[in-house]
A and B are shown apart, each in its own frame.
Chain A
């Protein structure tokens, strides 16, 4: 059997620029403060939970490749570097072949809006410096340069469940011996247009930004004490299977309901959107945390941060196992289970 371990985790969230800040915020369980966003022609409140400025400017931001990058790249890079920090401890890993899978739902919205705004005003003066940063693949490209030994990189786009598909893909690359370790990152930035869209789709949920990263490996020596035990199928919604049915199918595959286990669910502040997931887990009697209630709706980053929180709880031996439940908004329900090594 191909065992896959979690060598390291990384997080950037509205709580701060590391996993400890995320852990503290989730332990407190209080919704983090929101900031008001400026939107052209809109005088009603429009809020988001952004990532605070780091207390000290991270060293990696001095890299020339990151000069013009947008916040999503900064978040992805910070989370990835934290998660990969465990690798150099092993001499052999310094020359290891790294895989990189960067997942997002909205991607580089800040530069996309800025560039399109310039195009609408006058395409002849739209900035060529901004456009390359609007592509979904930009964050993965920049992170690969920082990590240097990336040999294989994919950027995946989808609803938040795509993060766990990315983890499964990383496991496949490891099993096929195409890489020695694989970083899987979920990252998002936010702005007024995301807040506007969430106002339509998931009111009163607040948008958020950030990134979470898992560093996967097959080497038990490198593990942080966490093993990837299972990822369910991607239960896709269709004309024949609605979100509630898909959520139940995911729940059935994930199983488990022990007092020693943690459930990290994807519930937020939108009761209509949350209803299928609530129903799927109504019999859960163990401990449970809902990071989105604290952090906000960070889409792919939210899914990644759920996994980071689950791995962190297992690594600190708070629980023997942690289950992650992701019931995406329009694509799929998918879950994962992490256990102590």
Chain B
């Protein structure tokens, strides 16, 4: 790897000239960390088989919570060698470790050169909230004890964690943190796609991450949004979501750049749509009107029709309100195609990763496109009445050329991404 820093001379505004022809955007690296494992291979094997990663929570006390399971990640004892020194490694909380692991994998796979102007666009809902929780506990229980508090005050902030990613890779560049709740990861990838398409950047590292934390777990539990049985999206008897944790980072660049470098191309991102549902802070519009709008937007930007979509990775949280709303939107959007359009929610396998969800589910779509299979939901009995589409219930190979992924968040932001197979 070279060490020369590129001198940046252009400014954020005035904007760089837009490309006359919008460039195609290739994915040339992907790193993923979930309860199914660390990296592409164990995750692909797990998703393909419909494995489930849930177990009793070990990270904090759940004895007084209503629900006691989640999809926890088994982190390695030590991280792979990066440019982080011992002091920096000590500052990584659980979320930052997953982020660095995913970014490191994506970086190695992309084979990029070190640079001083690589944009990093991340989605997260909580960043280093575990450090924030530790800060609060110590501040309340031992008000006079300053130990580690200054470090926690800095590194609970997602932008400080992003800087550690850059330091690990030896890069730097503008960092954008999007926190659109559970749509954050998809919005981050969509924004990165926008940056390349508009000519503001030639390549971008992007993705999302979140770790399980007591505050967030307790929050969803207090809302009675967590399933006390098993997360089974779109099932008529569904009773809530299951939380997970993880991270996914993808390396995006113009297709021409990837081809020029002879890089391995994992797939293309061809469409993105996003908008905001103003119905309620935590509930989607019952008819899924914004979901419908963003799916249409994504298709319009991709230049594809619903007939051309081979698989939908649904937001599918497993809550009553989300799934019925999303099912109505997908059914209306797909029209007659709905009857044969395979849909599944991989949250049934790894839980809801919040800010990491959209990014991990993007990587699942890339896996399905590249390896030609569909990820099943193994626990599923009877579909919700609003589902006019088949749920993928068993592992199976399939011809998948184009896939769509939905992500929605508290606050109402909806996002849809469309991916195309590279062959």
Question: Which residues of A are in contact with B by a Cβ distance under 8 Å?
Answer: 1-2, 4, 39-42, 65, 100, 105, 107, 112-113, 115-117, 119-120, 122-124, 126-128, 131-138, 140-142, 144-145, 148, 150-159, 162, 164-165, 167-169, 171-172, 175-176, 193, 196-197, 200-201, 228, 230-241, 253, 329-332, 334, 336
Contact = CB atoms under 8 A, between A and B. Distances in A.
Contacts of B18: 175-176
A335 to B, nearest CB: 9
Contacts of A176: 18, 194, 198
A108 to B, nearest CB: 11
A251 to B, nearest CB: 13
Interface stretch (B213-221, B246-254, B321-329, B396-404): B213-221
Given A144-B412, A159-B159, A234 B12 contact: yes
A154 B187 contact: yes
B2 interface: no
B163 A236 contact: yes
Interface string B123-146: 011010000110111011001001
Contact of B410 (A4, A135, A162): A135
A132 B177 contact: no
B76 interface: no
Contacts of B136: 113, 116-117, 120, 193
Nearest to B281: A132
Interface string B177-193: 11111000001000100
B281 A240 contact: no
30 contacts: A112-B132, A116-B133, A123-B65, A124-B65, A126-B222, A131-B223, A133-B281, A135-B411, A136-B179, A137-B410, A141-B281, A141-B413, A154-B191, A154-B413, A158-B175, A158-B177, A162-B159, A165-B176, A175-B15, A175-B18, A176-B18, A176-B198, A197-B150, A236-B174, A239-B170, A330-B157, A330-B159, A330-B160, A331-B159, A332-B175
A197 B276 contact: no
Closest 9 interchain pairs by CB? A141-B411, A137-B411, A131-B219, A238-B172, A136-B179, A234-B174, A168-B12, A231-B13, A197-B153
Interface residues of B, number: 77
Given A140-B180, A196-B149, A336-B13, 9 more contacts: A134-B215, A153-B411, A155-B411, A165-B174, A168-B13, A231-B13, A233-B10, A235-B8, A330-B163
Contacts of B10: 233
A149 to B, nearest CB: 10
B204 to A, nearest CB: 14
B405 to A, nearest CB: 18
A30 to B, nearest CB: 29
Contact of B179 (A41, A137, A175): A137
A120 B141 CA distance: 11
B49 interface: no
A128 B222 CA distance: 5
Interface of B: 5, 8, 10-15, 18, 62, 64-66, 83, 116-117, 124-125, 127, 132-133, 135-137, 139-140, 143, 146, 149-150, 153-154, 157-160, 162-163, 166-167, 170-181, 187, 191, 194, 198, 200, 214-215, 218-224, 274-276, 278, 281-282, 409-413
Contact of A141 (B137, B275, B276): B276
A156 B276 contact: no
Interface centre among A113, A123, A155, A200 (most CB of B within 10 A): A123
Interface centre among B8, B135, B178, B179 (most CB of A within 10 A): B179
Contacts of A334: 12
B198 A253 contact: no
B59 to A, nearest CB: 14
Contact of B12 (A137, A138, A232): A232
